[in-house]
Amino acid sequence: MPSNAHFYQPAQGHGLAHDPFNAIVGPRPIGWISSRDRAGVLNLAPYSFFNAFNYVPPIIGFASVGYKDSVRNIEQTGMFCWNLATRALAEQMNASCAAVDPDVDEFRLAGLTPAESQVVDVPHVAEAQVAFECKLTQLIRLETAGGDAVDTWLTLGEVVAVHIDQALLVDGVYQTAAAKPILRGGGPADYFQIDAANAFKMFRPGA
Ligand SMILES: Cc1cc2nc3c(=O)[nH]c(=O)nc-3n(C[C@H](O)[C@H](O)[C@H](O)COP(=O)(O)O)c2cc1C
């Protein structure tokens, strides 16, 4: 690290034109989450504080900054779906993030089709090339280092069913780049697209 590196402590401000945090921890995969409230109203929203956390069983999670409709629905029903956000669905994914009343169905808002799921009673996005059906495992309210509660909710779920478009499977191997997944960068509008040209291989030591 050069001696003139920009240094800051987030609690005291970053001192830059824009907070660099999201741009540094990026690009992030997108948790495009569908859920349903107790009354049956569908919900769809993107979350880029998202990742996978376990292989067996597969567990994914996203963080809602504020107790948003997705979290409320998932707490009520114990289930949700994850949908792969791709370049072809970027506009629809973006449209689904609109801050609308809880009784607005973002599938309809974004012009997407709800497809019935097999295991959980929450639809996934029919147009998505991959979808996971998930059951809530933990809902964790985040805390500061000092133990103060933060209004951010980490929602973790076990993936109990997986749907993959056959077009993404070659000889039984899933082709990550084939779907052209999109990831979120920093700033108000930065995204990245996964392309096969950017891939490289590196095996673990001893592998
Ligand atoms: C690409 C993208 C990523 C987002 N990531 C997050 C996130 O990680 N956490 C969050 O709270 N909101 C995030 N948002 C904003 C939510 O999608 C937005 O607040 C949405 O209205 C929440 O919907 P809901 O209240 O129906 O759950 C993101 C928006 C976009 C477009």
**Is residue 155 scored above 90 in pLDDT?**
yes
Share of the chain above pLDDT 70, in %: 100
Q: What is the pLDDT of residues 106-153, one digit of tens each?
A: 999 999 999 999 999 999 999 999 999 999 999 999 999 999 999 999
| Mutation choice for ligand 1 from 30, 81, 97, CB with most ligand atoms inside 8 A | 97
* Ordered structural domains, the chain, with CATH: 19-198 (2.30.110.10)
In whole angstroms, how far apart are CA 196 and each of 124, 177, 179, 180, 200? Answer: 26, 5, 10, 9, 9
Please state, in angstroms and as integers, the Cα–Cα distance from residue 80 to each residue in 19, 94, 102, 173, 175, following that order. 31, 19, 16, 26, 25
Which residue is closest in CA terms to ligand 1's atom 6?
A: 47
| pLDDT exceeds cutoff 90 at 184 | yes
Q: Which of 43, 32, 59 is nearest to 122 (CA)?
A: 43
Report residues whose beta carbon is within 6 angstroms of any ligand 1 atom: 30, 43, 45-49, 63-66, 68-70, 94, 97, 99, 184
pLDDT at 207: 83
- pLDDT-derived band at 26, boundaries 50, 70, 90: very high
Give the number of the atom of ligand 1 that is nearest the alpha carbon of residue 70. Answer: 27
Q: How confident is the model at residue 102 (pLDDT cuts 50, 70, 90)?
A: confident
